[in-house]
Amino acid sequence: MAKKQFKAESRRILDLMIDSIYTHKEIFLRELISNASDAIDKLYFLSLTDDKVGKGRDDFEIRISLDKDKRLFTISDNGIGMTRDELDANLGTIAKSGTLAFKTEHDTGDAVDIIGQFGVGFYSSFMVSDNVKVLSRAYGSEEAWLWESAGRDGYTISAAEKEDCGTVITLEIKENTEDEQYDRFLNQHTVSSLVKQYSDYIRYPIRMQTQHTRAKKGDPGDTETVTEDETLNSMIPLWKKAKSEIKEGEYNEFYKSKFHDFEDPLLTIHFSGEGVVSYDALLYIPKNPPYDFYAKEYQRGLQLYSSGVMIMEKCADLLPDYFGFVSGLVDSSDLSLNISRELLQHDRQLKTIAVTLKKRIKTELKKLMDNDREKYEAFYKSFRLPIKYGLYSDYGMNKDFLSDLVLYHSAAENKLVSLKEYVDAMKEDQKHIYYACAETVERAMKLPQTERVRDQGYDILCMTDDVDEFAVRMLGTYMEKTFKSVSDADLNLVSDEEKRAQERAHEEHKDILAALKEALSGKVKDVRLSDRLKSSPVCLTSDGPLSIEMEQVLASMPVSDGSVKAERVLEINPAHPVFGVLGTLSADDARVKKYADLLYDQALLIEGLPIEDPVAFSNAICELMV
Ligand code: ADP
């Protein structure tokens, strides 16, 4: 029979599995059980509306059998099964197509990493087996098919016999090696405890014939071996158990198997809601964003169950965008099993649940921030962006709700602080929350605009994310303190006396300032004497609502035509020796134009912005030096 080849991506996954140095090879078991349970779910769901299925809740089962002599591990289910085409499509190609390509492009392609990120499912069989057979008959079909593969060199599909619908997967378990005792997967005690460890909550019985030795009846001196049909799992969904009865390890295993993560979650939130609608919720916050979290295709949402039966895999209405990183499930007996997706969207009960969920998530995050800052900062590193976008989006509708959760780098403390911590530490005479935007914290701290603010003994929040300034402007105030950028035109940090002196200086130098402005026309809106600089000769600030940083962010957006511009102002430090020189020039001196360009370019460089003509800049400096 002609061998079919695996699709390129599947082949790569397979290679990784076959040569896997992954130490948790036992996960193949939970993956196969999870597939079997999904297959049964599908048929059970069908049976609710279709009498022809002819099976009730209690008729479904997953069965494991072990044959030590032939080294065979078999797992079967009486679920929905697969047609020939489905065998070909589902087992010949990796379901999450594109993921591997993405992964190897962006990462080392480490096997452990890949298994972790995508939960390779069925292919994990090849970690423990050299030969895999899948016998399946789809519900409603008369035919059964056998899929078979020994790994790398492809697979075959041939006609077969099977009495009822469902799937039987048979693994020929590898021989022991120095590093791995494959034999353990043929040992009933090991398999039974692995099922308990990883798959206890599966809602259908996982049965296995087990053998026990016991004292012989009537002859207690002798023993006999009895074979028993044993159900290995408790079948109680984890979220239905009392919190006190669940160990952290159980929560973590459940999370990893159910939501395809390799790492333990960062935070687990388990609670029940009562009132208008009662439900159980089990929510997880991952340590790291899923690989596609920032892609357009990313689907947020929670699994939705009605009395233990999953009715939706990703219910987006349960989570706001800014908490889109949360995974988990909600189970409510108040939701109808047959409710359609369209109806769900308008479901009042669902909305009620969503509101409590988001409040609860926030409370838990706040608690983490207060009680375990290190862990919160790890969370924040991964998921600060959705929260910051949450401040800003929907016209700031959620800003008050979310503003307690943000942290910024404090220049004075040199660590992340919350807005509350900033405000609590403010000096008595300080009116504003000062912030500086730049590409990095180091850059922000070095901005000349910050000199005066720091001189006053005021702390500055360094903001480095694109969304930061937009979010902060949306916030406007926090605890009645307004936000103020160190680059705002009206920083107003000077005394009345200084102000008068400045006005006089401005009057005195108005001709040269006007000449500089003229020389820079088209580039800046104005040239002014600065009241915020100490040691630097110049800096750029902006008038109006748009800062230079915001202009940069907007310009980098794909839809931008570059037409939105900040109103730039070149500020010159009147106390700087350079200004001493400028002050002696007459307005029509040829050097005015040259110096204006030089000062403007310097200001751009300090801001971290490109200069228009680097060659001219370099020549001008050389000219001065020689
Ligand atoms: P995943 O389960 O994450 O989709 P797998 O590689 O484990 O990925 O499985 C691929 C697909 O093969 C499943 O989505 C399912 O459609 C099908 N499949 C696997 N095992 C079974 C089974 N026991 N019964 C029916 N279909 C199955």
Average pLDDT over residues 154-167: 96
pLDDT-derived band at 572, boundaries 50, 70, 90: very high
Residue of the nearest CA to atom 21 in ligand 1?
35
**CA dist., res. 79 & res. 166, Å (int):** 5
For residue 70, the tally of other CB atoms under 10 A from its CB is 10
Whether the Cβ atoms of residue 365 and residue 376 lie closer than 8 Å to each other: yes
CATH superfamily of 496-625: Heat shock protein 90, C-terminal domain (1.20.120.790)
Q: Which CATH number fits domain 11-231: 3.30.565.10, 3.40.190.10, 3.20.20.70, 3.30.2350.10?
A: 3.30.565.10
Question: Which ligand 1 atom sits nearest the alpha carbon of residue 80?
Answer: 25
Rounded distance from Cα 31 to ligand 1 centre (Å): 9
pLDDT at 120: 62
Type of residue found at 44: Y
- Per the structure block, which two tokens stand in for 606? 């300090």
**Percent of the chain residues past pLDDT 90, beyond the cut:** 54
Question: Which ligand 1 atom sits nearest the alpha carbon of residue 31?
Answer: 7
Q: What is the pLDDT of residues 292-327, one digit of tens each?
A: 888 888 889 999 887 777 777 889 999 999 999 999
Q: Is 124 in the pocket of ligand 1 (CB under 6 A)?
A: no
Q: Which CATH number fits domain 246-371: 3.40.50.300, 3.30.230.80, 3.90.110.10, 3.40.50.1220?
A: 3.30.230.80
pLDDT at 345: 61
The answer to whether the predicted template modeling score (pTM) of the entire model surpasses 0.85 is no
> What is the overall mean pLDDT for the chain?
88
**232 pLDDT above the threshold of 90:** yes
pLDDT at 217: 79
Average pLDDT over residues 128-139: 96
**CA dist., res. 464 & res. 145, Å (int):** 58
Q: Is 87 in the pocket of ligand 1 (CB under 6 A)?
A: no
What are the residue boundaries of the structural domains of the chain, listed by start? 11-231, 246-371, 396-485, 496-625
pLDDT at 346: 63
What totals of helices (H) and strands (E) does the chain contain, helices first? Answer: 21, 22
**96 pLDDT above the threshold of 50:** no
Residue of the nearest CA to atom 17 in ligand 1?
90
Name the residue with higher pLDDT: 74 or 395.
74
Residue position matching structure tokens 């359609």: 340
**Ligand 1 pocket mutation, candidates 27, 30, 31, 35, criterion most atoms within 8 A of CB:** 35
pLDDT-derived band at 563, boundaries 50, 70, 90: confident
**CA dist., res. 273 & res. 201, Å (int):** 21
Rounded distance from Cα 34 to ligand 1 centre (Å): 9
**153 pLDDT above the threshold of 90:** no
| Rg of the chain taking only CA atoms, in angstroms | 33
Rounded distance from Cα 169 to ligand 1 centre (Å): 12
**439 pLDDT above the threshold of 80:** yes
Rounded distance from Cα 122 to ligand 1 centre (Å): 7
Residue of the nearest CA to atom 15 in ligand 1?
90
pLDDT at 145: 98
Residue of the nearest CA to atom 1 in ligand 1?
121
Least confident of 8-12, 22-26, 118-122, 195-199: 118-122
Q: Is 139 in the pocket of ligand 1 (CB under 6 A)?
A: no
Q: Is 99 in the pocket of ligand 1 (CB under 6 A)?
A: no
Average pLDDT over residues 602-623: 91
**CA dist., res. 516 & res. 499, Å (int):** 22
Whether the Cβ atoms of residue 626 and residue 620 lie closer than 8 Å to each other: no
**376 pLDDT above the threshold of 50:** yes
pLDDT at 502: 84
Name the residue with higher pLDDT: 45 or 83.
83
Residue 235 zone, left/alpha/beta (φ > 0; ψ -120 to 50; rest): left
**483 pLDDT above the threshold of 90:** yes
pLDDT-derived band at 582, boundaries 50, 70, 90: confident
CATH topology match: 396-485 vs 496-625: no
Beta-strand relationship, 432-437 and 481-485: parallel
Type of residue found at 467: V
For residue 440, the tally of other CB atoms under 10 A from its CB is 12
Q: Is 22 in the pocket of ligand 1 (CB under 6 A)?
A: no
Average pLDDT over residues 248-252: 92
Average pLDDT over residues 603-616: 90
Residue of the nearest CA to atom 7 in ligand 1?
121
pLDDT-derived band at 359, boundaries 50, 70, 90: very high
Rounded distance from Cα 257 to ligand 1 centre (Å): 14
Q: Is 592 in the pocket of ligand 1 (CB under 6 A)?
A: no
Name the helix (H) or strand (E) containing 215. strand 206-216
3-class DSSP string for 403-429:
HHHCEEEECCCCEEEEHHHHHHCCCCC
Q: Is 9 in the pocket of ligand 1 (CB under 6 A)?
A: no
Rounded distance from Cα 241 to ligand 1 centre (Å): 28
- Per the structure block, which two tokens stand in for 194? 């692995």
- Per the structure block, which two tokens stand in for 398? 């959620």
**CA dist., res. 125 & res. 123, Å (int):** 5
Q: What is the pLDDT of residues 487-513, one digit of tens each?
A: 887 787 888 888 888 888 889 888 999
For residue 243, the tally of other CB atoms under 10 A from its CB is 11
**257 pLDDT above the threshold of 90:** no
Question: Which ligand 1 atom sits nearest the alpha carbon of residue 35?
Answer: 20
**CA dist., res. 576 & res. 535, Å (int):** 7
Rounded distance from Cα 62 to ligand 1 centre (Å): 15
For residue 610, the tally of other CB atoms under 10 A from its CB is 9
| Helical packing angle, 373-396 and 348-371, nearest 10° | 140
**341 pLDDT above the threshold of 60:** no
Rounded distance from Cα 95 to ligand 1 centre (Å): 8
Beta-strand relationship, 432-437 and 460-463: parallel
Average pLDDT over residues 184-209: 91
Average pLDDT over residues 333-351: 70
Q: Does domain 396-485 have CATH number 3.40.50.11260?
A: yes
**CA dist., res. 111 & res. 104, Å (int):** 10
Name the residue with higher pLDDT: 106 or 313.
313
**CA dist., res. 475 & res. 391, Å (int):** 7
pLDDT-derived band at 21, boundaries 50, 70, 90: low
